[in-house]
Amino acid sequence: MKGSELKPHIGLFGRRNYGKSSLVNFLTGQTVSIVSSEAGTTTDPVKKTMEISGIGPVVWIDTAGVDDDGYLGSMRVEKTLRVLPEVDLALILFTNNLFDIDEIRLVDACQSAGKPFLLVYTQSDKFKPEQHIIDFLTAKYGAERLFVVSIFDQRLRTPLCDRIKSLLPESSYVRKSTLAGIVAHGDNVVMVTPIDSSAPEGRMILPQVQVLRDILDLNAKAFVTQPDELQSLLSDIKNPPSLVVTDSQAFAKVSAIVPTEVPLTSFSILLARNKGLFKEYIAGTPKISKLHDGDRVLLLESCTHNVTCEDIGRVKLPALLRKFTGKQLTCDVIAGASPMPENLSDYSLVVQCGGCVVTHQQLVARLMPAVQAGIPVSNYGLALAYVNGIFDRATKIFNH
């Protein structure tokens, strides 16, 4: 059920020729990254998935050296630094008894973001660590944040993985149920899943699959239907559903059918509550009513997909925002891992998709610059509920 992006992400950072690629190969037991004595061999982040006992699969990210130079080198460094906010744990490599400005900057960046890190002294077989360096770093950052390794000593692989496991936040690998505190054993839950040209061929989209799995895990009963069959399904069910979950784009039609006493929300809103900045979404969504002519709205899609005339983020939502506000709005879309605009202050609102294919940390890293700049943020599902006049109803179930 979980895509590769939903696994914990561990990034390796450091200068060129400090053994980042060798350490990835050492940890995974495979030749994942090209290893060379030539500086700058790794030019783009390289990802590899490996299982860690007690955690499950994790994604290792090998990055370019932070001391790369020249025009292309500066571009590589920029890509490396863009990875840092998105990882769940940073391994900061150093060697040859040198812990200087590059390493300090990486540590400072981790501490500023509240991100756990592990200082890994590499190539210890070649450069024996001096005791005063070990003592200094232990005193400053703690013994648990320092590990000395040689890739030629296989006995160190398990202890290093154990140390990584101890520093990796549990929230990065223990998935929280989208229905926690909402659905109980034996409840009836109705899922409304429209099938149109924007739906993937022959399968359900990931948010729908996640909610369905959570219903089953809670030993509740799931009923899945399309909007046109919803009225008939509700008549057939002996006991009223405890919850109806709909695709956000069908909010208006579904809300008109589902009795007001039955809780109603959307897949996107459940995902937003599960791993987004839900409090900020709730506060930011009503700002839609305060948009003015000429305002710019930034729409963030975590995935890349084929765009159709029924695309929710690129077609339907912009049209609904303009219709609801009666304003001439400019809507820009950024998909996948494309960089955010340099000047976020140009935007009056940021709307994030459900984020079903990214981790919580990746989603937060994407949104925090806007939050810190004081720009209201919302979510596709919450925004659609708001412009359909059912924002309060769609969020009421979460008020407790």
What is the reported pTM?
0.73
Q: How far apart are CA 60 and CA 348, in angstroms?
A: 36
Q: How far apart are CA 127 and CA 51, in angstroms?
A: 30
Q: Superfamily for 4-172?
A: P-loop containing nucleotide triphosphate hydrolases (3.40.50.300)
**Measured in whole angstroms, how far is the alpha carbon of residue 20 from the centre of its chain?**
24
Is 37 a residue whose pLDDT tops 60? no
Residues 17, 108, 4: CA angle, nearest 5 degrees: 65
Note the pLDDT of residue 9. Answer: 92
SS3 330: strand
Q: Where are the beta strands (DSSP E) in 280-373?
A: 296-301, 330-335, 349-352
Contact 369, 312 (CB under 8 A): no
Instruction: Write down the domain spans for the chain.
Output: 4-172, 188-270, 277-392
Q: How far apart are CA 10 and CA 130, in angstroms?
A: 27
Is 53 a residue whose pLDDT tops 80? no
Supply the Cα-derived Rg of the chain in whole angstroms.
24
Query: CB-hemisphere CA count at 13 Å for 77?
Result: 16
> pLDDT-derived band of residue 128, with 50, 70 and 90 as boundaries?
very high
Cα separation values, 339 from 7, 94, 227, 301, Å = 21, 28, 37, 12
Cα end-to-end span (Å), the chain: 29
Two structure tokens written together for 215 = 């219903």
Is 273 a residue whose pLDDT tops 70? yes
Q: How far apart are CA 284 and CA 253, in angstroms?
A: 25
Is 325 a residue whose pLDDT tops 70? yes
- Residue pLDDT, tens place only, 109-124: 899 888 999 999 999 9
4-172 and 188-270, same CATH topology: yes
Cα separation values, 125 from 27, 68, 99, Å = 17, 25, 18
Q: How far apart are CA 312 and CA 194, in angstroms?
A: 12
Is 249 a residue whose pLDDT tops 60? yes
Q: Which of 88-97, 198-207, 311-320 has the lowest mean pLDDT?
A: 198-207
Start-end of H helices in the chain: 20-28, 70-83, 101-112, 131-141, 157-167, 206-217, 230-236, 251-257, 267-275, 278-284, 317-325, 360-372, 380-387, 391-395
Query: CB-hemisphere CA count at 13 Å for 86?
Result: 22
- The DSSP secondary-structure symbol of 199 reads S
Tokens 């007001």 sit at which residue?
260
> pLDDT-derived band of residue 57, with 50, 70 and 90 as boundaries?
confident
> pLDDT-derived band of residue 321, with 50, 70 and 90 as boundaries?
very high
CATH number of 188-270: 3.40.50.11420
> pLDDT-derived band of residue 275, with 50, 70 and 90 as boundaries?
confident
Q: How far apart are CA 100 and CA 29, in angstroms?
A: 30
Contact 245, 267 (CB under 8 A): yes
Note the pLDDT of residue 200. Answer: 61
3: left (phi over 0), alpha (psi -120 to 50) or beta: beta
Contact 85, 117 (CB under 8 A): no
DSSP assignment of 68-116: --HHHHHHHHHHHHHHGGG-SEEEEEE-TT---HHHHHHHHHHHHTT--
Q: How far apart are CA 170 and CA 396, in angstroms?
A: 29
121: left (phi over 0), alpha (psi -120 to 50) or beta: beta
Topology (CATH) of 277-392: Rossmann fold (3.40.50)
All residues at 6 or more sequence positions from 343 whose CB lies less than 8 Å from its CB, including other chains: none
Taking Cα atoms as reference points, which of 72, 68, 133 lies closest to residue 102? 68
- Residue pLDDT, tens place only, 23-35: 988 888 766 544 5
